[in-house]
Amino acid sequence: MSRLILNRRKFLIGSAALTSSAALSGCSQFDFLGQRDNPIRNAMERANVLTYSAQRALIGEQTLAREFAESEIRQGMKPNGSTEPTTPEYMFLRQANFEPYRLTIKGMVDRELSFSLAELRNMPARTQITRHDCVEGWSCIAKWTGTPLGPILDQAGVKPGARYCVYHCFDNIQRTISGDILYYTSSDLIDAYHPQTILSYGLNDQVLPVSNGAPVRLRIERALGYKQPKYLHTIELVDDLSPFGRGQGGYWEDNGYDWYGGI
Ligand X SMILES: Nc1nc2c(c(=O)[nH]1)N[C@H]1C(S)=C(S)[C@@H](COP(=O)(O)O)O[C@H]1N2
Please list every residue from 23 through 62 that binds ligand X, using CB under 6 A.
Answer: none
Q: Do 248 and 254 meet the contact criterion of CB atoms below 8 Å apart?
A: yes
CA 3 to CA 5: how far, in whole Å? Answer: 5
Please report whether residue 79 would count as binding ligand X according to CB under 6 A. Answer: yes
Q: Does 173 bind ligand X (CB under 6 A)?
A: yes
| Residue 183 vs 259, nearer CB to ligand X | 183
**Sign, Cα dihedral of 25, 27, 33, 35:** negative
Residue nearest to ligand X (CB): 81
Give the residue, chosen from 59, 134, 173, 263, that forms a contact with Mo ion under the rule CB under 5 A.
Answer: 134
Q: Are 206 and 151 in contact (CB under 8 A)?
A: no
Q: What are the residue ranges of helices labelled H in 50-103?
A: 55-59, 88-95
Q: Which of 50, 65, 81, 163 binds ligand X (CB under 6 A)?
A: 81
Q: Give the number of other CB atoms < 10 A from CB of residue 74.
A: 8
The item of Mo ion, ligand X, none sharing an interface with residue 209, based on CB under 5 to 8 Å by kind, is none
- The yes or no reply on residue 226 touching ligand X (CB under 6 A) is yes
Q: Answer yes or no whether residue 107 interacts with Mo ion by CB under 5 A.
A: no
Contact criterion met (CB below 8 Å) for 109 and 159: yes
- β-pairing, 139-148 vs 217-219, is unpaired
Strand pairing report for 232-238 and 102-107: parallel
By CB under 6 A, name the one of 51, 55, 62, 82 that touches ligand X: 82
Among 50, 65, 77, 238, indicate the residue that binds ligand X (CB under 6 A).
77
Q: Which residue ranges make up the site for ligand X (CB under 6 A)?
A: 77-82, 134, 169, 171, 173, 183, 212-213, 225-226, 228-231
Q: Which positions touch Mo ion (CB under 5 A)?
A: 134, 225-226
